[in-house]
Amino acid sequence: MDRITSMEIFVRAVQLGSFAAVADERGISAQMVGKHVRGLEAGLGTKLLAKSTRFQKVTAAGERYYQRCLTILAELKAAEEDIYRNMNEPSGTLKICTGVNVGIKVLAPSLARFMQRYPKLEIDLVVDNRLPDIKKDGFEVIFRDKVDGYENLIAHKLKSFEMIVCASPEYLQQHGTPNHPDELSNHQCLQSSLLYLNHNWSFFDGKQHFKPEVSSKLTINSGQAMMSAAIEGAGITMQPIFQVNNALKDGRLVQVLADYQLPEVSLYMIYLPSLRNTARLTLLKEHLQQTLKQYV
């Protein structure tokens, strides 16, 4: 059997947790997956997985071999991509995960333009607010506003976005425009039903910090849906500039408390160490940095 193919199958078996899942992914039988793994074990003279059919855990030797396989397969991929780098034409597949808001407003349109420039590249973009399991889900690149929990990966900060507090002209006409952060306690300040997506309603005037108690009768688990509700007059919303930029320009939303400084939200590109210096990642990073310059 081809040793490289067996190593690829073994790596995915570790990541997915079952032979059946690998078989479905590669379009082969579970028995063939087991045959590849057993071939590696025979060559090494040791068990890599606790079971030969449906395993529960990786052995100590299997974990060491898994890490080495990742390095070897990454080097092979980098060697192939080095050829394409010289031709300025990346190829292969990138599996990417990102949050819903930045995925819809920033990444999806930017990736579409990127793929027009590099048609040999394939991208699998998953838009989901749940925190991904890198090993199990097989993602190579994720985009998040925090790096906590991803210490074993490489994180590159792409940009920090200004946060904007805004509401529709109709809401402000009916309920009044707040001139001080403390006045927000008298308003409907739209909240996320997902605690980790709630923004920090903290204001700084250059001398003093203000943290008003905000609440609303309407909670939503999507920033984009929250913006739509604000446009219809549901209340005041705090959003990153990329989310509300167009609505501010055409007057559907109006910024309030603009004289106060708010905490910024960062966007990190977090990726597997095996992707470092590959043409796919390098060109994508450069493309996104250029795209994000529009959000001053």
Quick: pLDDT tens for 227-252: 999 999 999 999 999 899 999 999 99
The mean pLDDT of the chain is: 87
Quick: pLDDT tens for 21-44: 899 888 899 899 999 999 999 999
Classify the C-alpha dihedral 169-174-176-181 as positive or negative: negative
Contact predicate 52/37, CB 8 Å: yes
CATH 3.40.190.10 fits 87-157+266-293, yes or no: yes
Quick: pLDDT tens for 73-107: 888 877 776 665 555 567 778 899 998 888 998 99
CATH of range 160-264; options 3.40.50.2000, 1.10.3720.10, 3.40.190.10, 3.40.50.2300: 3.40.190.10
Q: What is the pTM of this model?
A: 0.67
Alpha helices for the chain (secondary structure H): 3-16, 19-26, 30-44, 60-86, 100-102, 108-117, 134-137, 169-175, 223-231, 241-249, 279-291
User: 282, 295, 284, 275: which is closest to 78 by C-alpha?
Assistant: 275
Looking at domain 3-83, its CATH architecture is Orthogonal Bundle (1.10)
As a whole number, mean pLDDT of residues 277-293 equals 86
Distance CA 209, CA 194 (A): 25
Q: CATH 3.40.190.10 in the chain: give the residue spans.
A: 87-157+266-293, 160-264
User: 94, 141, 90: which is closest to 118 by C-alpha?
Assistant: 90
